Chain A
Amino acid sequence: MTFWQYLEAKGPYLLTTLLGGWPQTAIVAIGSLLFALIFGLAVALVRLSAWRPLRWPAIAYIEFFRGTPALVQLFVIYFGLPDIGLSPTPLQAAIVGLGMNGAAYLAEIYRAGIESIHRGQMEAALALGLTPGKAMQHIVLPQAVRTMLPPITSFAIVLLKDTSIVFSVGVVEIMALARNLVTETLHSAAVYLIAGLLYLCMTIPMSRLAARLERQRQAWQ
Chain B
Amino acid sequence: MSKLPQIYAENIHRWLPELLWFALTTLKIALVSFALAVLVGLAFALLRTSRIVLLRGLATAYIETARGLPIVVLLYIVYFVPPQLFPGINWQWFTDFTGAVLGLGLHGGAILAEVFRSGIEALHKGQREAAVSLGMTPAQSMTYIILPQATRIVLPPVANYAIGLLKDTSLCSLIGVNEIMNDAKSIAFADYQPMAVFVLVAVIYFVMSYPLSLIVRVLERRLAVSR
Cβ-defined partner of A73 (8 Å) among B67, B76, B202: B202
Binary interface profile of A, 194-207, with partner B (CB < 8 Å = 1, else 0)? 01100110011001
Task: Please give, as numbers and ranges, the residues of chain A lying within 8 Å of B74 by CB-CB distance.
Answer: 196
- Contact in complex: A67, B209 (CB < 8 Å): yes
Query: What is the interface size of chain A, counting residues whose CB is below 8 A from a CB of the partner?
Result: 40
Contact across chains for B193 and A189 when beta carbons are under 8 A apart: no
For A71, the closest partner residue in chain B by CB is B170
Interface contact tally, CB-CB below 8 A? 119
Known contacts A3-B84, A188-B84, A204-B64, A71 near B181 by CB under 8 Å: yes
Q: Which of A153-167 contact B (CB under 8 A)?
A: 161-165
Q: Does A69 contact B70, Cβ atoms closer than 8 Å? A: no
Assembly CA distance A80 to B210 (angstroms) = 23
Complex Cα distance, B173 from A195, in Å, reads 20
Q: A203 to B68, Cβ gap below 8 A?
A: yes
Q: Which residues from A are CB-within-8-Å of B198? A: 72, 75-76, 79-80
Interface residue from B80, B167, B199 paired with A192 (Cβ < 8 Å): B80
Does B71 have its Cβ within 8 Å of any Cβ on chain A?
yes
Contact A165 B72 (CB under 8 A): yes
Given contacts A72-B198, A76-B199, contact A168 B174 (CB under 8 A): yes
Q: CB-defined interface of B164-202 with A at 8 Å, one 1/0 digit per residue? A: 000110110110000001001100100001111011011
Evaluate contact between A69 and B194: CB separation under 8 angstroms: no
* A175 interface residue (CB < 8 Å to B): yes
* Chain B contacts for A66, CB-based, 8 A: 213
* Cα of A67 to Cα of B210 in the assembled complex, Å: 6
Chain B's nearest CB lies how many Å from the CB of A38?
Answer: 24
**Nearest residue, chain B, Cβ from A72:** B202
Do A75 and B194 form a contact, CB below 8 Å, given A64-B206, A67-B213, A165-B174? yes
Most buried by B among A3, A67, A165, A193: A67
In contact, B205 and A68 (Cβ under 8 angstroms)? yes
In addition to A71-B170, A80-B198, A188-B76, 6 A-B residue pairs with Cβ atoms within 8 Å of each other are A67-B206, A68-B167, A70-B167, A76-B198, A82-B194, A207-B68
Interface of A is mostly: helix
Chain B 146-175, CB-CB to A under 8 Å as 1, else 0, gives 000000000000000000000110110110
Which single member of B73, B84, B194, B202 contacts A164 (CB below 8 Å)?
B73
User: A127 contacts which chain B residues (CB < 8 A)?
Assistant: none
In the bound complex, residues from chain B placing their C-beta under 8 Å from that of A73 are 202
Docked complex Cα distance between A204 and B68 (Å): 6
In the complex, which residue of chain A has the Cβ closest to the Cβ of B209?
Answer: A67
| CB-contact partner of B69 in A63, A68, A182, A200, under 8 A | A200
Cα–Cα, bound, A73→B196 (Å): 12
Known contacts A80-B198, A193-B77; decide if A187 and B84 are in contact (CB<8 Å).
yes
| CA gap between A204 and B110 in the complex, in Å | 14
Please state if B171 and A165 are interface contacts (CB–CB under 8 Å).
Answer: yes
Q: For residues 75 through 133 of chain B, which have their beta carbon under 8 Å from a beta carbon of chain A? A: 76-77, 80-81, 84-85
CA distance A115 to B198 in the complex (A): 35
Q: Is the CB of A162 within 8 A of B70?
A: yes
Task: Determine if A84 is an interface residue (Cβ-Cβ < 8 Å).
Answer: yes
Task: Known A3-B84, A71-B173, A200-B68; judge A80-B73 contact (CB<8 A).
Answer: no
Provide the residues of chain A in CB contact with B68, threshold 8 Å: 199-200, 203-204, 207
Known: A63-B210, A188-B80, A192-B80. A80 touches B195 (CB 8 A): yes
A188–B72 Cα distance when bound, in Å, is 14
User: For A175, what are the chain B residues with a Cβ–Cβ distance below 8 Å?
Assistant: 70, 72-73
| Most chain A CB within a 10 A radius of its CB, from B69, B72, B193 | B72
Q: Is the CB of A192 within 8 A of B76?
A: yes
Task: Tell me, rounded to whole Å, the shortest Cβ–Cβ distance linking A166 to chain B.
Answer: 10
Known: A63-B210, A165-B171, A204-B64. A195 touches B80 (CB 8 A): no
